């Protein structure tokens, strides 16, 4: 079945849904960061101005991606992944921030290679698994060449340390293999050893053990959890139904850590209340629903896997962040797509939207 691209065939509803979330993110980044920016950087516009630049770059990125032939370009995803693996090694030679080596710093610009790896691994899997010669029901073909590439990437990201991105990429890749037709028992055989290794690393070698134990304490009593978790839960609940009002939140005044990054959803809950949170969740639901609709309308296996992978990755990222903010998951340091301050996260999340918009232009109509 053939598909054709004509003018104005892109999913405009998806774009406007994304644009709405982007604008909300800019407003909330300013609202939650202005006092911190004034105190630490001498200008209440410091974080907002940086985020605005990244937002404009994200829009340019989306425009460029919609004009590309993704099926031809994903051939280069394999060499690009190896370049990203080199960048993931290079971060360990960069200065640490908050005890983590996650960023490549070039002057005043910094980026997270883990975000690039998260995006490229989806492109790589969509290209490779759509190859008719690839039999994903064969256990050996599930392991090779995927396990070495994915395992090395996840290992490097885990060492940074960046537990949140590790979890998101791991769940994303498992989901793509599943929809590609891999057998559940084969996925289980590949996953269980990694879960066992993670348990040994955490409880045997002590990696993030304190954070996990703090989370388990919080499950029994939220007020016994870590400071981050307690403040997040208090901030989220203090807005009641209608919130304290835009810009009127108090927890951002040096009580809630990272109110404009990891915990921006809590800041939204305080200032815009339960109604504001419902609107945000509705925006996410709308974007994810459009993504799944685009995936289901693809004319070939490549488009289906690529659209599904991008949508699934966004969902997992959103779910993990909201799980942390609401106290359902341990603190991971993961940004909330489209809303949190952070150039790498915003740019790559926007790139996923660009891919979905591109694929919407080749849907069967």
Name which of 27, 30, 25, 57 is nearest 45 in CA terms: 30
Q: For the ranges 186-190, 251-255, 268-272, which has the lowest average pLDDT? A: 251-255
Question: In the prediction, which pLDDT does 1 show?
Answer: 35
pLDDT in tens, 137-185: 887 877 778 888 998 998 899 888 888 898 899 999 999 999 998 888 8
Query: Between 299 and 221, where is the model more confident?
Result: 299
Query: What is d(CA 37, CA 24) in angstroms, rounded to the nearest whole number?
Result: 19
Tokens representing residue 222 in the block: 């939220």
Question: In the prediction, which pLDDT does 219 show?
Answer: 65
Question: In the prediction, which pLDDT does 262 show?
Answer: 87
Q: Which residues of 104-126 are buried (b: 16+ CB within 10 A; e: fewer)?
A: beeeeeebbbbbbbbbbbbbbbb
Question: In the prediction, which pLDDT does 4 show?
Answer: 41
CB 267 within 8 A of CB 238: no
Enter the pTM of the model.
0.90
Mean pLDDT: which of 13-22, 63-72, 102-111, 322-331 is highest?
13-22
Q: How does the average pLDDT of the chain come out, rounded?
A: 86
pLDDT in tens, 23-45: 999 999 999 988 888 888 888 89
pLDDT in tens, 352-362: 999 999 999 87
Handedness of CA 60, 66, 70, 73 (dihedral sign): negative
Name which of 335, 324, 330, 315 is nearest 122 in CA terms: 315
């Amino acid at each position: 079945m053939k598909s054709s691209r004509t003018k104005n065939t892109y999913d405009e509803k998806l774009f406007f849904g994304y644009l709405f979330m982007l604008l909300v993110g800019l407003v909330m980044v300013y609202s939650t960061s202005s006092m911190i920016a004034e105190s630490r950087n001498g200008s209440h516009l410091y974080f907002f101005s940086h985020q605005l630049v990244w937002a404009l770059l994200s829009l340019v990125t989306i425009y460029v991606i919609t004009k590309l032939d993704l099926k031809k370009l994903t051939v280069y995803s394999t060499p690009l992944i190896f370049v990203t693996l080199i960048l993931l090694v290079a971060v360990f030679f960069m200065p640490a921030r908050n005890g983590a080596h996650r960023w490549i710093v070039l002057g005043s610009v910094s980026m997270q290679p883990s975000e690039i790896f998260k995006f490229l691994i989806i492109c790589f899997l969509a290209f490779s698994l759509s190859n008719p010669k690839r039999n994903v029901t064969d256990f050996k073909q599930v392991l090779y060449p995927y396990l070495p590439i994915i395992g090395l990437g996840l290992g490097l990201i885990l060492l940074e340390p960046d537990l949140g991105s590790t979890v998101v990429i791991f769940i994303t890749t498992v989901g793509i293999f599943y929809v590609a037709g891999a057998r559940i028992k084969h996925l289980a055989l590949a996953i269980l050893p990694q879960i066992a290794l993670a348990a040994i690393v955490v409880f045997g070698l002590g990696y993030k053990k304190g954070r996990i134990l703090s989370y388990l304490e919080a499950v029994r009593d939220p007020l016994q959890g870590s400071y981050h978790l307690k403040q997040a839960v208090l901030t989220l609940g203090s807005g009641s139904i209608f919130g304290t009002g835009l810009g009127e939140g108090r927890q951002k005044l040096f009580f809630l850590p990272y109110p404009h990054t990891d915990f921006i959803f809590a800041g939204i809950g305080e200032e815009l209340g339960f109604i504001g949170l419902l609107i945000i969740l509705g925006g996410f639901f709308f974007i994810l629903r459009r993504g799944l609709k685009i995936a289901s309308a693809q004319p070939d296996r490549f488009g289906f896997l690529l659209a599904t992978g991008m949508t699934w990755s966004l969902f997992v990222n959103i779910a993990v962040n909201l799980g942390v903010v609401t106290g359902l998951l341990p603190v991971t340091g993961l940004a909330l797509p489209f809303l949190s301050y952070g150039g790498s996260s915003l740019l790559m999340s926007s790139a996923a939207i660009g891919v979905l918009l591109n694929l919407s232009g080749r849907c069967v109509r």
